[in-house]
Amino acid sequence: MSDAADPLAGLLLVAETGAVSFAVRAQPRSSREAIEGVREGALRVALTAPPVEGEANTALVALLAKTLRVPKRDVAVVAGTSNRSKRLRIVGLTVDEVRERLAAVVKPPF
């Protein structure tokens, strides 16, 4: 697959022991929940939840757990809990599995 057709081009997925981590840019208070693509090296995720009392983080974990088909307990915000720029860690999947599952829901860039 060429980078032009790769909807996740620019997203750095880092393999860790039994897990994968990557950068996320959350957009709280959006009109819908969706994984919108990659911008500036981070996965852009629109969330309807407001950024108060961890609601947006909870919604982010739930959306990515559903998308990646893993339990919510296997998705963790490991950095940026009070910031729009975050780092997530997914336990139990390989880099290839995460890339494949995210690519299935992200449209290629124009």
Q: Which domains does the chain have, with CATH numbers?
A: 14-93 (3.30.1200.10)
pLDDT, block means (10 residues), the chain with 110 residues: 69 93 94 91 93 92 96 95 94 94 79
Return the pLDDT at 1. 46
Whether the CB-CB separation of 16 and 44 falls below 8 Å is answered with no
Residue 91: exposure state from Cβ atoms within 10 A (0-12, 13-18, ≥19): middle
Return the pLDDT at 74. 96
Return the pLDDT at 8. 85
What's the predicted TM-score (pTM) here?
0.90
Cα–Cα dist 3/20, whole Å: 21
Length of the chain: 110
